[in-house]
Amino acid sequence: MAQAKQLAATVRSGTGKGAARSVRREGRVPAVIYGGGMPPQAISLDYKTTNLLIYAGHFLTTIFEIDVEGTKIRALPRDYQLDVVRDTPVHVDFLRLTAGSTLRVDVPVHFVGQDASAAIKAGATVNVVRHTVEMRVPADNIPEGIVADVSKMGMGDSLHISAVPMPDGCKPVISNRDFTIATMVPPKTVAEDAPAAAAAPAAKAPAKAAAKK
């Protein structure tokens, strides 16, 4: 399960576009922590740290323990905005986590067993249908991923969500069907060219007798 990462923040008093621009001029990123039955908390984050965290991957499924000038708040990023030209962070929204609450998040699917797969050794390939699965998970115990084993799949087989072990307290949002995670695609066969039928040479018409003078 995912472990909380430490993140330092400072309180920002102003709100609105003007205040946000002022924060960015100071080399920081405006952010807000909301939810949990408490008023929103306006904060700012170090720009370099925030940029690295976003581009490191899995930002929206990482739990942070945010130290807001001595007060620690467990929160999960729910959204962030990037500059449309420079792709740099300009704002982050965090959801405050409370004990017993659940969240809907996209959980990555990690595929294993390729080396032990007889089908793959025979030339088949794994066609990934879902790289992530939307799941309802405990707010304080978000899984880093679910593991899908393809080692037993045969040619043309499909791997469904029911065959993937679920972490404790987690379940897919889609519950009314056993949806497909991956398929095992057989190798393409090259059709042998049929021997070209030898075309019979066209019979030449007999030459006409020369006209008598």
CATH number for the domain running over 102-185: 2.170.120.20
Q: 28-35 and 5-11 as β-strands: parallel, antiparallel, unpaired?
A: unpaired
What's the rounded Cα separation, in Å, for the pair 91 and 28?
Answer: 10
5-96 shares its CATH topology with 102-185:
no
What per-residue confidence (pLDDT) applies to 99? 78
CATH number for the domain running over 5-96: 2.40.240.10
pLDDT higher at 108 or 58 = 108
Exposed, middle or buried by CB within 10 Å (0-12, 13-18, 19+), for 100?
exposed
What per-residue confidence (pLDDT) applies to 52? 96
What's the rounded Cα separation, in Å, for the pair 13 and 44?
Answer: 10
pLDDT tier at 21 (50, 70, 90 boundaries)? confident
Domain ranges of the chain: 5-96, 102-185
**Report field, pTM of the whole predicted structure over 0.85:** no
Give the pLDDT confidence of 134-174 residue by residue, as tens digits.
999 988 778 889 999 999 999 999 999 999 999 999 999 99
Query: Above pLDDT 70, what percent of the chain?
Result: 87
Range in 34-38, 119-123, 188-192, 198-202 with the lowest mean pLDDT: 198-202
What per-residue confidence (pLDDT) applies to 194? 46
